[in-house]
Structure 1
Amino acid sequence: MIHILEHTLSHTIEDSVKLLPFLFFTYLLMELLEHTTGGKVQNKIKNAGKVGPLWGGLLGIMPQCGFSAAAASLYAGRVITVGTLLAVFLSTSDEMLPIFISEAVAPATIFKILGAKVCIAIISGFLAELVYVNVFKKKEKDMDIHVVCEEEHCSCEDGVLKSALKHTFKIFIYILLITFMLTFVIELIGEDQLAVVFQDIPVVGEMIAALVGLIPNCASSVVITELYLSGIIGAGAMMSGLLVNAGVGLLVLFRLNRDWKQNVGIMAALYGFGVFWGVIIELLGIVF
């Protein structure tokens, strides 16, 4: 048990510390926008959100879950749209790329998978934006970065730098605690036992893989990637699990965004897109 606790603590600190630069620069940017921009600049940022899913899909592919955490924070302040947020979530995939590289996977295969994730993320982001605005008749709220201050119960009259540091520290502690609990549970269960829940059955395999992928911990992306490389699951299940694997982005979203129904809707959309695209890939017989 002591060994498990030590191992859990080590991984938790290592994974969480990686997020600090992303969190700090995100909150610093948000504080600068809050303190220095007028209505005209805010409108430009909001209008730029119409092509946000394109940039979200491209930037999210970087092998760092810090982008998903940053995107969740920006969405809570309504700097980016729901389509952009989903594009980042679908594009990012925690430990997938480092594992592929360490396992000496062919560069062509890696680029195909990354390219597929980017294309799926961009298409899904624009589709989500279209449905959100034209079908559900929802309207994106005006940029309100101060909502993050209110949610964190902090005073933001201390200047840009100090306020950004306060936000970074508070959300970092939150991520640290949640990550520790999740990692501890996974360590107790064991990654081998976690792998047993996968079934290489059409649709069912994709649904289970996506559920595992929703776990906001690097272990889920590790398990899914290793199972795919071992030939235990197919390309469809692999893609389903990795598409929904947004790292700690969902944790940050639920922590900062006040609308819990909206948060649940975003998570459901993420899961639905992951399963849908995984099934399509499996039915088409696509092999990377």
Structure 2
Amino acid sequence: MVEILIDSFKDTIKVVPLLFIIFFTVDYIMLKVNKDNKLIERLSKYDYIGGSLLGLVPQCGIPVAMARLYSNGHISLGMLAAVFISSSDEALIIIGAHPEKLGFMFKLIFVKILIGMAAGFIINLLIKEKRNRIKGCTINCDCPKCRRNKNILTHNLIYTARVTAFLIITVFIINYGVSVLGEESLHAILGKNTYLQPIIASLIGMIPSCISSVVLAEAFIKGAIGVGPLVAGLCANTGYGILIVMKELPLKKAMKIMILIQGISITVGELIYIFGGK
């Protein structure tokens, strides 16, 4: 258990500098550059395109940071979904490590970007939301507690520390559960080559741990699952981003986002399974 706790700490702490830089930069832009909100309004027209491209960055800190920006009302639901769906992870590294699969890896990245763009566009077109959804406080908050920490540096240091503590505890619980279950059990859960595979793969992919994407990649390399289930699982894999959604947003709203990502992932996975040779 101690080893799992140490691994969970190491997995989380490596993204902390990136999270702080992104949090601080965005708050600075919101205060100094975007006082009238015109910058965000202009960028929001193309935000799902940028979101899907951000997914190329092989850092789980990107989905986490984007989840926080969404909860603060700085980005749209379409951009959040695009980032979640297209985000890169350990699975791509594992697949790319096999020379015969290198070409497929680039195709997979391209497909995930297209899915992210298409999903973001449709979501923004069909779903209109109000901004400033966060439960807690932002840099612009004027409550007594925030007035004591009005400095932008202090505000973001405190927020990053809270996010880090939350992630360490949550990731430890998840990693412990996965270690008890075991990778072989996850492979077994994927089952035989049926129409249920994309659904099961997407549920495994939603587990906010690198082990989920590793299991999916290894299952694909071994021939246990096809392209459809692999795409479904990796599109549903949001890294730690979904944990921030659960932390920052009301439970009902967070569950709707989870179901939305799951629905998109399963639909795409099933279509590829049916029409793309599984």
Q: CA deviation at 1:210?
A: 0.5
- The range that moved more, 235-244 or 54-63, is 54-63
Partner of 1:10: 6
Rounded to whole Å, the distance in 1 between the matches of 2:51 and 2:35 is 24
Partner of 1:87: 82
Contact 2:190-2:201 at 8 Å conserved across structures: yes
Rounded to whole Å, the distance in 1 between the matches of 2:23 and 2:196 is 40
Q: CA deviation at 1:12?
A: 0.6
Letter in 1 for 2:276: G
Partner of 1:264: 255
What is the aligned counterpart of 2:189 among 190, 197, 202? 197
Q: Secondary structure at the match of 1:69?
A: helix
Q: Secondary structure at the match of 1:215?
A: coil
Rounded to whole Å, the distance in 2 between the matches of 1:80 and 1:12 is 29
Query: Are 1:285 and 2:273 matched, yes or no?
Result: no
Partner of 1:49: 44
Contact 2:54-2:83 at 8 Å conserved across structures: yes
Q: After superposition, what is the alpha-carbon deviation per residue over 1:221-246, rounded to whole angstroms, capped at 9, x for unaligned?
A: 11011100110001100110000000
Rounded to whole Å, the distance in 2 between the matches of 1:267 and 1:116 is 21
Query: Are 1:228 and 2:224 matched, yes or no?
Result: no
What is the aligned counterpart of 1:120 among 111, 115, 123? 115
TM-score w.r.t. length of structure 1 = 0.88
Q: Secondary structure at the match of 2:127?
A: helix
What is the aligned counterpart of 2:203 among 198, 207, 211? 211
- Going from structure 1 to structure 2, the CA distance change for 1:238 and 1:200 (only over 3 Å counts) comes to farther
Percent identity between matched residues is 27
Contact 1:81-1:140 at 8 Å conserved across structures: no
Contact 2:136-2:248 at 8 Å conserved across structures: no
Letter in 2 for 1:212: I
Q: Secondary structure at the match of 1:140?
A: coil
What is the aligned counterpart of 2:32 among 11, 32, 36? 36
Q: Secondary structure at the match of 2:5?
A: helix
Q: CA deviation at 1:20?
A: 0.6
Partner of 1:136: none
Query: Are 1:253 and 2:256 matched, yes or no?
Result: no
Rounded to whole Å, the distance in 1 between the matches of 2:200 and 2:135 is 36
- Going from structure 1 to structure 2, the CA distance change for 1:8 and 1:104 (only over 3 Å counts) comes to farther
Partner of 2:168: 176
Letter in 2 for 1:269: L
TM-score w.r.t. length of structure 2 = 0.91
Q: Secondary structure at the match of 2:169?
A: helix
Rounded to whole Å, the distance in 1 between the matches of 2:121 and 2:69 is 18
Q: CA deviation at 1:64?
A: 1.5
Q: After superposition, what is the alpha-carbon deviation per residue over 1:51-75, rounded to whole angstroms, capped at 9, x for unaligned?
A: 1110100111222211100100100
Contact 1:31-1:163 at 8 Å conserved across structures: no
Query: Are 1:161 and 2:153 matched, yes or no?
Result: yes
Report the aligned-residue RMSD. 2.2
Structure 2: gaps spanning 5 or more residues: none
In the TM superposition, structure 1's runs of 4+ consecutive aligned residues that sit over 6 Å from their partners are 143-146
Rounded to whole Å, the distance in 1 between the matches of 2:226 and 2:70 is 33
Contact 1:23-1:70 at 8 Å conserved across structures: yes
